[in-house]
Amino acid sequence: MFGAEVSGVAEVVQAYGWFLENAWIIPIIPAVAFFLIIFFGKKLPMKGSELGILSMLATLFFSAMAGWQWIDAVNSAPAGSAMAPVIKSWTWWTTGGFDFTIGQHMDGLSLTVLIVVAFISTLVQIYSVEYLHGDRRYTHFFAALTLFSAGMMNMVIADNMLQLILGWEIMGLCSFMLIGHWWEDGANSRAALKAFFTTRTGDVGLLVGTSVLFFAANDWTQKTLGVSGFSIRGVSAWALSGDPSSAAITVAAVALFIACIGKSGQFPLHTWLPDAMAGPTPVSSLLHSSTMVVAGVFLVARLYPVFWEGLNITGSSFNLIVVIGGITILIAAALAFVQNDIKKVLAYSTVSQLGYMMMGLGAGAWLPAVFHIFTHAFFKACLFLAAGSISHSASHHSFDMKKDMGGLRKFMPITFTTWIISTLALCGVFPLSGFFSKDEIIDNVGHNGYTLFMVIGLIGAFMTAAYMTRATYLTFFGTPRGASAGEHHDDDHATDHAHGDHAHDVHATHDAHGAHDSHDSHDAHASHGPRESGPLITIPLIILATLAIGAGFLNATPFGAGWENMKKWVEPSGAVISTTGIEEAHGGAGASRIVYLSPQAEEGAYSSPCGKETPKDGICYAPSISHAKFKWSKGALSLAIVFAGMLVSWFMSVQVFERKNRALAGLTKRNKLLGAGHSFLVNKYYLDHLYEKVIVRAIAHPIARGAYRFNQKVLDGIVNGTGISVRNTSRWVYRNVDQKVVDGAVNGSGAAAQGAGSALRPIQSGKVSQYGALLFGAAAIGALVLVIINT
Amino acid sequence: MLLNQFLFLGAVLFCIGVYGVITRRNAVMVLMSIELILNAVNINLIAFALRNGSVDGHVFALYVIAIAAAEVGVGLAMVLLVYRNRRSIALDELAEMKG
Amino acid sequence: MIASDVLVAQNIGFGMIAAVMIVAALRVVTSRNVVHAALWLVLVLAGIAAQYILLAAEFVAVTQVLVYIGAVMVLFLFGTMLTRARIGGEANLDNRNWLISIPVAVILLAAMLYALGDGFGDEKLPQETTPVSVQQVSDSIFGPHVFPFWALSFVLTAALTGAIVLARKD
């Protein structure tokens, strides 16, 4: 808003309010709840879930109040002001003259994601009460969920990179714990490990990037702003100050983006996300669709100036982020076509949508990408929870669409309705939320000169509509199959306990419940067909679907600037802030400083003094970004593409699945080319094969073998050799020193004494004359000696 | 007269006495050799007494004579006793005290 | 040894007596007959008495004759008599130690002679001396040297008693 038309002098407004200033409490509440659940959860009547839900409600309340105060501050600020975030920090360790701080950095972006996390966490925890009822590790599940929320909230409000990394790692840990919740099945624990290792591979980039940024920025930030090189605000300002060398900032940007590739499931590190569906559905809906996987997007959005400058987002028509995002959109959408598991379809859809967000960020469409985080969270979580509802009540914990679903719209009306709403939102149908966010991304990508990627976005929209229609058809239309038809899979119950060789194939995941007895109590397996789930499951679905409808209106660009509230509240000002008397305001009532706003460019091209031509007395905290003007013609085009995708897919689905059209069904089996393409997709582009069997084996096996050999020959050799040499030495010492020398000396002294005695015994012969001889002989010799001496 | 001639005489007698003490088997012979030694000492004493012009040497020599007499008495008594017990006074046969 | 002109007679006397004494001493330690050895010892003792006279020690000479020759030698002969089965020579009066004793005696003699010769050289004894009188001797005995006299009396008493005790037949 203020970046667009006004140029001139304006104010920096510091937002204030109790909830904003004390937002650091928000991650602490679930952290405390985590410990309470761990220690006391099992003894509580609801086994710890009440603590989790209460803590989530508390955080939701705090976040909402903080968000209200922020919105209030923004709304009441004079037009054209720049909002200063509410930053507080405390030093927790000092070493070598350097202070390590922990604190909060509350602004529109952090509040957006914070509210999303709190809200979805609350709903998912309520959902889990029903979904995981009777589970063998019920309490620990809630503990892990709560800890995850604590970690993510901590990351979101972090004011320095170290704290962000802390939250990042806690999230990774909780993801591992939750994916492997039913670790008795080897496939689940393998999936958890795969997730952890893949994200860890990316985390190297996070550490490298943070270090590079610190060492490059610390001098400037200490001098100019008085904060360390870890401070996010400081680094953002540094990136746009013209101070950094292009090599340093590019390296940092690439390294940080590698971490985002891992965490947000971008190509080529996306392979863990579909496998993460082995975890319980609430986990998939919370972590792996709406919150954790957007951590990478959040990071890019948070440190946007670093990427803006480091990857030259304004200056060229392609860069690393947008390319990776674009590739991800397409390959994930293609993979979603060949999945039989409903959760895997949604997982690839998530990957694809994350690709949208990244592509948006990479092309300078900051606000649309952040808004897409917001809206995507609601409808994707709703889709996952609906899938969970289906498995819980209809398909006997199976997620296989082809085997166990079909025609469920008659049996599960609420689930069906919410699913349809969320699918339409995902596809970007007006007036649902996805239209306002996803289409804005595509629009702004094109507006900023990344035309190729705009086309990719449109193709992705087509594919999204197509695969979601396919999934919808398989699940809710047609004739019920398998479990949905009321058939039992007795082998499931038998083999669920013998998980050793439980066929975990590529296409199906099972919620492998261990406590079948408690399920038997309320799932009367004797005879029931699919039916709607209980209220604890359907109410969150309804809430989320409602938001999927309505959340879009928070930033409904088509309706004019008055509707663009998210932009007003969330987008940081690209203003140049004067450095005369600059200091970070820590709370307190609106301290103002004079700012000079950068002149904004016309549509189609933009230039910002921030970065390349930052005035010497000014600080920029965010780049100034231009926005595409909405045209209904563009909107209509994308809607047309979406509907085309839906129609084509509907037609194909009916033909192939229902009518079994001879020409079309089994096409991939008959046609060699299509069959090859199909198996290529089914094998996920052989990327898993490449990673695990080729790369890992090539690196790990020789290394492992070499390490083993080193251990056996060298290390063990040294150890054994030492032992052997010590033993030989001791044996030698025993034989030679102890036996011969020491014992010899001891024995010898005895022998010597004895010998001396024997030698001297003849002197005492008892013969007097001999005594006399000795006496006089000694006297003679004595005399001789005396004489000789004295002459 | 030279002093040395008496001293030499004493030395010769002494050494002859030493030879006798060591060599002789008969206990009485050993006692006789001891007498030789004592007399040689006496000659020394008297010679020095004359040289120094004092009487101490004479007194000492008298004492030596007296002691010699006592010693011979006791010694011969012992020899008699030995003879009574063993019927022999060959010293090399009296070896019961050997160690 | 250079004799003085005035005392030629004394020197010749000394020489003759000394020669006799040495020969007799040698005969004492080499004689096979115990009685003969005793008699040769008498000769030695007599010679020593003569030397005492030459050394102006008349009282000591007389005491020597009285005690040594008169008492000690008689004692020796009595002892010999009482401890021999036969009278006459007996073979093997020497033991095996003569191998040691000759060198010992020789070494001792050599050492002493050298020491004496080196120590006293040509020192002459005083010439014009009156013989020591008995009075002088007794004054000395009962004067400065009375303690040894008393000790000597004890010794003699003990020897007397001891000899009687040892030799009596029970």
CB-nearest partner of C111 from A767, A770, A783: A783
Rounded average pLDDT over A661-670: 68
pLDDT at residue A163, rounded to an integer: 93
pLDDT at A124 over 90: yes
pLDDT at C149 over 50: yes
pLDDT at A591 over 50: no
pLDDT at residue A315, rounded to an integer: 73
pLDDT at residue A1, rounded to an integer: 33
> Could you please report the per-residue DSSP string of A22-58?
TTTHHHHHHHHHHHHHHHHGGGSTTTTHHHHHHHHHH
Helix (H, G, I), strand (E, B) or coil at A508: coil
Instruction: Kindly state the DSSP code that residue A480 receives in the 8-state scheme.
Output: -
Per-residue pLDDT reduced to its tens digit, A161-175: 999 999 999 999 999
Sign of CA pseudo-dihedral A261, A262, A268, A274: negative
The CA-CA-CA angle for residues A545, A550, A556, to 5°, reads: 140
Residues written for chain C: 170
pLDDT at A594 over 80: no
Residue extents of the structural domains in chain B: 3-91
CB-nearest partner of B95 from A763, A767, A773: A767
List C-alpha distances in Å: A683 to A207, A299, A355, A677, A680: 32, 31, 20, 10, 5
pLDDT at residue A77, rounded to an integer: 82
Provide the angle, in degrees to the nearest 10, between the axes of the packed helices A413-427 and A632-653. 130
pLDDT at residue C170, rounded to an integer: 67
Q: What rounded mean pLDDT belongs to chain B?
A: 90
pLDDT at residue A347, rounded to an integer: 93
For chain A, the 3-state helix, strand and coil shares in percent, each to the nearest 5, are 70, 5, 25
pLDDT at residue A340, rounded to an integer: 87
Per-residue pLDDT reduced to its tens digit, A769-779: 888 888 899 99
CB-nearest partner of B1 from C117, C125, C149: C125
pLDDT at residue A228, rounded to an integer: 85
Record: contact B22-A768, CB cut-off 8 A: no
Question: Are A134 and A515 contacting, i.e. CB atoms less than 8 angstroms apart?
Answer: yes
- Cis peptide leading into A762, omega within 30 of 0? no
Per-residue pLDDT reduced to its tens digit, A424-459: 999 988 888 888 898 889 988 888 888 899 999 999
> A576-578 and A594-596 as β-strands: parallel, antiparallel, unpaired?
antiparallel
Per-residue pLDDT reduced to its tens digit, B7-39: 999 999 999 999 999 888 888 889 999 999 999
Per-residue pLDDT reduced to its tens digit, A515-561: 333 343 344 444 467 788 888 888 999 999 999 998 888 888 888 77
Chain B contact set for C67 (CB, 8 A): 65-66, 69
Residues written for chain B: 99
What is the CATH code for B3-91? 1.10.287.3510
Token pair recorded at residue A720 = 């054994």
Among A452-461, A501-510, C8-17, the minimum mean pLDDT is found in A501-510
**Residues 49 through 78 of chain C touching chain B, CB cutoff 8 Å:** 51-52, 54-57, 59-60, 63-64, 67-68, 71-72, 75-76, 78
Per-residue pLDDT reduced to its tens digit, A328-368: 999 999 898 888 899 999 999 999 999 999 999 999 889 99
pLDDT at A658 over 50: yes
Question: Are C17 and C50 contacting, i.e. CB atoms less than 8 angstroms apart?
Answer: yes
Rounded average pLDDT over A230-239: 89
Rounded average pLDDT over A567-594: 57
d(CA A382, CA A286): 10
Looking at the predicted complex, does its ipTM rise above 0.85?
Answer: yes
Chain B contact set for C95 (CB, 8 A): 23-25, 91-92
Q: Residue A26's pLDDT band (boundaries 50, 70, 90)?
A: very high
Q: Which of A397, A317, A417 is nearest to A359 (CA)?
A: A317
pLDDT at residue B86, rounded to an integer: 82
pLDDT at C12 over 70: yes
Token pair recorded at residue A379 = 């409808």
Judge whether A786 is closer than 8 Å to chain C, CB to CB.
yes
Among A494-508, B49-63, C50-64, C127-141, the minimum mean pLDDT is found in A494-508
pLDDT at residue A761, rounded to an integer: 82
d(CA A347, CA A357): 15
Calculate Rg over the CA atoms of chain B. 17
Q: Residue A630's pLDDT band (boundaries 50, 70, 90)?
A: confident
Rounded average pLDDT over C65-73: 94
Q: What rounded mean pLDDT belongs to chain A?
A: 82
In this prediction the pTM is 0.64
pLDDT at A401 over 50: yes
pLDDT at residue A611, rounded to an integer: 56
> A82-84 and A9-14 as β-strands: parallel, antiparallel, unpaired?
parallel
pLDDT at A265 over 70: yes
Record: contact A780-C100, CB cut-off 8 A: no
Question: Are B99 and A764 contacting, i.e. CB atoms less than 8 angstroms apart?
Answer: yes
